[in-house]
Structure 1
């Protein structure tokens, strides 16, 4: 092969802004996802869900991922049209997710059609299915467009953008309450106005950022892609195989997945088990533990015996719900900062060391939740406004440093380690299958966490957060059993 052919076959190096554009839409997707994570438990509780059943409603998210991502991955591997192979799915998912975000907080308006709780659950399913249609192609788009030498940087930039979106999405209800002046407490069976408008704005940001990626990123044509990846192109007129044959081939892919992928699955189990618990139960945990709101105020049977919820209880639950947004924004800020250094740390110290240390920091952060319960009121200057909250609430920002480090690593390291171990023709479908390692632990957490909370911890939600900490520490240990062959070969 002459030097011209070698150069022609080499995938072009991207500028920083090209890498930025590839992932920019993820900012909006994560903006919407962060709004969901910080507020869905709050919305469902306001609509009438009891405390230990929250994890069951949240099962919609991983189940949608389990169903949608492998299908989208396989479909995008086979798609080549005017928009490319990944961008059509990203755009379609964003449009559907925005629709769900517009409708979900308005569940009480549809009471004539169905119960608000059922409508809310359906909209949650729509949002999660749509987010998953976006997530998987975005992961594969980075793998497609970014050469191997820039892969750490590519996924680190993606993690940075994800966390910028998460910060803004997490604090939005708080800002709308404390800066704009919208009400943050909800009447029985309704959703707080600040949360409703946050979802409206989130839908707009999601669509706008995804359109930026769709129109500012040009995917490679099939011939270019196959040449850069060193694989043979496939004929356009391939016959459609019978469903049984395709299912058998798919199961074969799962059975014969790369060893690195199997080992990462163990790490993913402990990591995502912990994250699911955090997203579902942080709001009731800090409302009980720091605002000292008794667990009976999360019992819909008890609440049903009251003509009206006492104003001080509604205010405390609203303030705690807003502060969860600040805490989630906090870990996203720390994750965004850590993401800036993640690629260079991984290159210098090795992916496994950085990944394991980050998960361990997150585990310790969860365990520290138990230490902070001081109700002494303190006024905090958040630059955009001042707010009076318990000292214990402010102290919880410290554990968020470790949680942020873990989140940044979870978003980048497994995908950077996995990308080099996957066959180029099947990157999309394997990235979709890898989502099983995200969805399965969340499903198990959803089925078990509510039971543990109710039968072991007597609905004291702070203790389920401690379980999350133990799980994350187990993930940190499991990292050392992963064989990062791709990284070893490049050094």
Structure 2
């Protein structure tokens, strides 16, 4: 038994919810630094305030993936999570721009990002569940299209409200402008409406149907003999000791040299991972397997393709996070020449950043449907390399630009990279995952999006203030170099589709 090939409009409907998710995500990315700075955050505080997003994703996505693999309701397997996340995120979008203080805005970012993650994570597994292997690249490309389209509109909303509708983009000190507030209100409505469309206009295979598909035969159940069980217990313990020791040693360094406290987020995180591995080892020895033990054990048994893609994801998402954190400050300071958040010039520059973010997302929406064509003519690895190289050059070019209009060209390169980042790695990954654990491993794959963001959030503030003389534009240069390196690392990935095609050619 094989999965049914879906029509264009069926794939459209099952991906449409990403329009709303990315609308809200784009508002968050383009305006959070602006909100923090308006509420009194210093330039070197902004990265650590952003830590909410990666930490939340690190915790939420694998848990949601694990439970969605084991869920079946009247709404199906993944759709209940789409709906719950959309409702919570829409509420948070309406509250955040009305935050009376910096700590409230930071707290709302935690809530908003957790809700977005609850809605977003099952969408990746949704494609793997519903589409046959030869349609998955199109499925992820369709998601990329809606991500780009939603982000275009979401990113430019403050600019539209100011320049088309005449709503003010300035406000007294410590107050968020009305143009930003109304953008977030609209975002909440769009988020919920788009996800509801996917919930009601798409279907899912039941667990029994998924069991019958031929592709399940490629992933036999793991050997759980006593010897294998002991080996896995020992492996959990070894990794626990390794991570705990590394975390404690790394924590001692910023303490001894009196470095920035933000570094503790990363070092203590390593120690915490070690404790979790040790706990899983102890529980598995005494009580056998439970949900927690399964999550930690499967983390050590990732498919090889997933491990290789981890490095690609690390450097590309480090680059993206540096862009999201520092583009507003780089453009207003380096190009517009001001850091006065109450000035019209600063807010004009901040509004232009929302347009730039809209442009790169718009480019991504168009390019999303061209990438599968290029991948067929070359390979998915070469396609990703080309896209990431163009994105890296786009980020680095910001340093050399003085005319704001030329920044549009920089964003074309970033948009090409963004389209590929949102589709090509997932298309390579989906064919390497056991179908029964699709949601969980898609959630774990988010680690390699989250961890680089945590690294960026903890070290970029230190680099900008300590090494770059308070000039955030250099963070974009570092991000550009990281993105090019990510492209080169793609060449190491073992792409199962390429192997399958080679086997077909030989036969």
TM over 0.5: yes
- 1:10 paired with 2:7, answer no
TM-fit CA distance, 1:363: 0.5
Question: Residue 286 of structure 1 aligns with which residue?
Answer: 331
**Residue 157 of structure 2, aligned match among 172, 183, 191:** 172
* Contact 2:91 2:188 survives alignment (8 Å): yes
1:409-455 C-alpha deviation (Å, 9 max, x unpaired): 00001100000000010011000110000000000000000110111
Unaligned runs of 5+ in 2: 218-283, 503-507
Question: Residue 304 of structure 1 aligns with which residue?
Answer: none
- 1:271 paired with 2:316, answer yes
| TM-score normalised over the length of structure 1 | 0.87
* Contact 1:104 1:120 survives alignment (8 Å): yes
Question: Residue 236 of structure 1 aligns with which residue?
Answer: none
- Cα distance in structure 1, aligned partners of 2:377 and 2:116: 34
Question: Residue 364 of structure 2 aligns with which residue?
Answer: 335
TM-fit CA distance, 1:54: 0.5
Q: CA RMSD in A?
A: 1.7
Q: How does 1:411-426 map to 2 (within 5 A)?
A: 411-426=422-437
Unaligned runs of 5+ in 1: 1-8, 109-115, 233-240, 299-308, 374-391
1:111-153 C-alpha deviation (Å, 9 max, x unpaired): xxxxx11111111001100111111100011111111111111
**Residue 212 of structure 1, aligned match among 197, 212, 216:** 197
- Cα distance in structure 1, aligned partners of 2:45 and 2:80: 36
- Cα distance in structure 1, aligned partners of 2:55 and 2:71: 24
1:169-219 C-alpha deviation (Å, 9 max, x unpaired): 001110000000000113211101000000000000000000000000011
Helix, strand or coil at the partner of 1:186:
coil
Mark the CA change 1:489 to 1:49 in structure 2 (over 3 Å): closer, same or farther: same
Question: Residue 195 of structure 1 aligns with which residue?
Answer: 180
Question: Residue 454 of structure 1 aligns with which residue?
Answer: 465
Q: How does 1:89-108 map to 2 (within 5 A)?
A: 89-108=81-100
Helix, strand or coil at the partner of 1:180:
coil
TM-fit CA distance, 1:222: 2.2
- Cα distance in structure 2, aligned partners of 1:253 and 1:150: 27
- 1:133 paired with 2:144, answer no
1:325-371 C-alpha deviation (Å, 9 max, x unpaired): 11001111111111111112112211000001100000011111111
Moved over 3 A (4+): 229-232, 241-246
* Contact 2:318 2:479 survives alignment (8 Å): yes
Mark the CA change 1:422 to 1:244 in structure 2 (over 3 Å): closer, same or farther: closer
- State how many pairs are aligned: 436
- Cα distance in structure 1, aligned partners of 2:94 and 2:288: 36
Question: Residue 317 of structure 1 aligns with which residue?
Answer: 346
TM-fit CA distance, 1:231: 4.2
Question: Residue 483 of structure 1 aligns with which residue?
Answer: 494
- Cα distance in structure 1, aligned partners of 2:41 and 2:321: 18
* Contact 2:216 2:434 survives alignment (8 Å): no
1:296-318 C-alpha deviation (Å, 9 max, x unpaired): x47xxxxxxxxxx5xxxx10111
TM-fit CA distance, 1:248: 2.8
* Contact 2:153 2:358 survives alignment (8 Å): yes
TM-fit CA distance, 1:227: 1.6
**Residue 432 of structure 1, aligned match among 443, 446, 466:** 443
